[in-house]
Amino acid sequence: MAQLKVTPKVNWGRKILLVALGLALLGNYLRGTQLPVDVSGLSPLILFRISQLGVGLATIKILFIDANSWRFKAGFLAMSLFLYYVGSNAHLLDIFFYFVILVAAKDEDYRWLLRCYLIEVAVIMLSLALLTFGGILNDMTMVRPGGTLRMSFGSVTPSDFAAHVFHWLVAYFCYRNFKLSWIEYLVSLVATWGVFRFTGTRLDLILMAVTLVLAVSYPKLKKLINCLDGWSLGAIMLVYLGFNLAINYLFTPEWTWFRRVDELLSHRLTYGQLALQKPLTLFGRYFRENGNGKFNPHQPYFFIDSSFVRLLAMQGILLFTCFVIMLIFLAWRFKAERTYSLLLGLGLVLLSAAIDHHLWELSYNFIFLASLTDNQHFIVKRK
């Protein structure tokens, strides 16, 4: 008798998730580029709708395809409404979008999501760079004191492009479990040098250099992490968050060392302090910003670069508290599961969040999506 062939069951949930993720990521990335300015008919609203479509598909997956209990669905809807309300107050919906994709990714293999991110972001970065060199897009160039030309390669600012490259490297190193070949190290070194050479972003140069050092030191770092428990790691993150908020709030320009740190950070402490001096709210508030990406010379410059200050000042005490709880949970989970590469990725993202505002943008930080996913591939086996 001929054997019957069993046709593998199509995983529609994963297919919908990848499409949803791709759309949400695409809209998020392109809104921070010159495309809406230089390409007629491609407005920021259209790109926003692309992200909305991805979030809508993810919501359908959560409510109608995944085998979630009615309590889980009710909790998801309640949290979504809260995040949407807080985001609307601050005119920032990135956290709401991120949360929906995060929940839709529950129990999925995190490697699939990383592959989608790595491929899509790489294609977008290279395409925008080619469009810029071809003259189709205007490159948002800037000049530092001394005449150093900084290029953005299609992004709104040079620092945005550098941040994209940094987060892409972190995601790739996590995908490879921080175990790289000499060719991968060489390419990473060239990319780090190239980003600094053409964008002039000193802080991202430091972050990418730290990433390479951690990759080289990964075998020893695993032993160090083994000596700590999840709660200790969570406590370290709390101290780090507290320090970041304190240094912004207590900034005193009359003190020489404070002033030098502020200059090194491109006056991030100055504007962070201005934000924290405003009354903090429970559910967030709107700040009118005037930054390099959309600079109006008739108004004074003001932009909150620190993601931590931004979250507390613009999206409120309650959401900031939820963020702290999430960080403790992630530290505990990554340590308990021995997914040390994801733990290092989380640490690098938090280092970057102190100086940039991209913490809740899907096209930058990708590590939070590992909150509820299947992370077995990244587990360090016990000897």
Could you say which DSSP state residue 366 is in? -
Distance CA 218, CA 155 (A): 32
Question: Could you tell me the pTM of the whole model?
Answer: 0.93
Three-state DSSP string of 220-264: HHHHHHHCCCHHHHHHHHHHHHHHHHHHHHCCCCCCHHHHHHHHH
pLDDT of residue 230: 81
Per-block average pLDDT, block size 10, for the chain (383 residues)?
Answer: 52 92 96 85 91 97 95 97 96 96 96 96 94 81 61 88 96 96 95 91 93 94 88 90 95 89 90 93 91 66 92 96 95 94 96 95 96 94 69
Per the DSSP assignment, residues forming a β-bridge with 33 are 155
Q: How far is it between the farthest Cα atoms of the chain? A: 89
Which amino acid makes up residue 136? I
Per the DSSP assignment, residues forming a β-bridge with 359 are none
Provide the sign of the torsion angle of the four alpha carbons 68, 71, 75, 77, taken in this order.
positive
pLDDT of residue 55: 97
Distance CA 235, CA 321 (A): 14
Contact between 32 and 160 under an 8 Å Cβ cutoff? The reply is yes
Nearest to 18 by CA among 111, 127, 84, 125: 111
Which amino acid makes up residue 160? D
Tokens of 337: 């599961």
Contact between 101 and 83 under an 8 Å Cβ cutoff? The reply is no
Nearest to 179 by CA among 218, 209, 207, 211: 218
How far, in Å, are 17, 39, 250, 281 from residue 270 at the CA level?
Answer: 41, 36, 10, 21
pLDDT of residue 311: 96
